[in-house]
Amino acid sequence: MQPDFEKAGGLVAAIAQDADSGQVLMIAWMNREAWEETLRSKRAVYYSRSRGKLWRKGEESGHVQEVREVYVDCDADTILLKVKQVGGAACHEGYASCFFRKVEGDDVKVVGERVFDPKQVYRK
């Protein structure tokens, strides 16, 4: 079964969830090529909208996502990956999850702890 890339204009949203803890790590996008390579390689491959090309998660940082389980939603236009996040952090800011900011009324609180220092990992 394929996600319906046509309906969604070529890209579908993909959630990465930690397979062990259940923590939601991030959302990214996949085109058909990213989807097929993800299934084949068992590593998460997304499509970077900002860079306009495939994004093999971890290709720069080494923090790849090993794909344990793959789900497609009822409308076949969203994907859920259960992954093992190598390095312990999915977020380019060094947090385990990209959702490290909690909204409480008008306030926002950082609730995650930094696993790594982005300056050390992404050397430009």
Q: Tell me if 99 contacts a copy of itself by CB under 8 A.
A: yes
Q: Tell me if 66 contacts a copy of itself by CB under 8 A.
A: no
Q: Tell me if 75 contacts a copy of itself by CB under 8 A.
A: yes
Please give the DSSP secondary-structure letter assigned to residue 43. Answer: B
Q: Tell me if 4 contacts a copy of itself by CB under 8 A.
A: no
Residue from 60, 71, 84, 113 in contact with a copy of itself (CB under 8 A) = 71
Tokens 């930094």, located at residue: 114
Residue 79 burial (CB < 10 Å; 0-12/13-18/19+)?
buried
Kindly state the smallest distance separating residue 78's Cβ from a copy of itself, in Å: 5
Number of H helices, E strands in the chain: 2, 8
Say which amino acid occupies 69: E
Query: Using CA atoms, how far apart are residues 58 and 83, in angstroms rounded to an integer?
Result: 13
x/- track of binding to a copy of itself for residues 23-62 (CB under 8 A): xx-xx-----------x-----------------------
Kindly state the smallest distance separating residue 22's Cβ from a copy of itself, in Å: 3
Tokens 């909208």, located at residue: 49
Whether the Cβ atoms of residue 90 and residue 65 lie closer than 8 Å to each other: yes
What are the residues binding a copy of itself (CB under 8 A)? Answer: 1, 13, 15, 17, 21-24, 26-27, 39, 69-75, 78, 80, 91-93, 95, 98-105, 108, 111
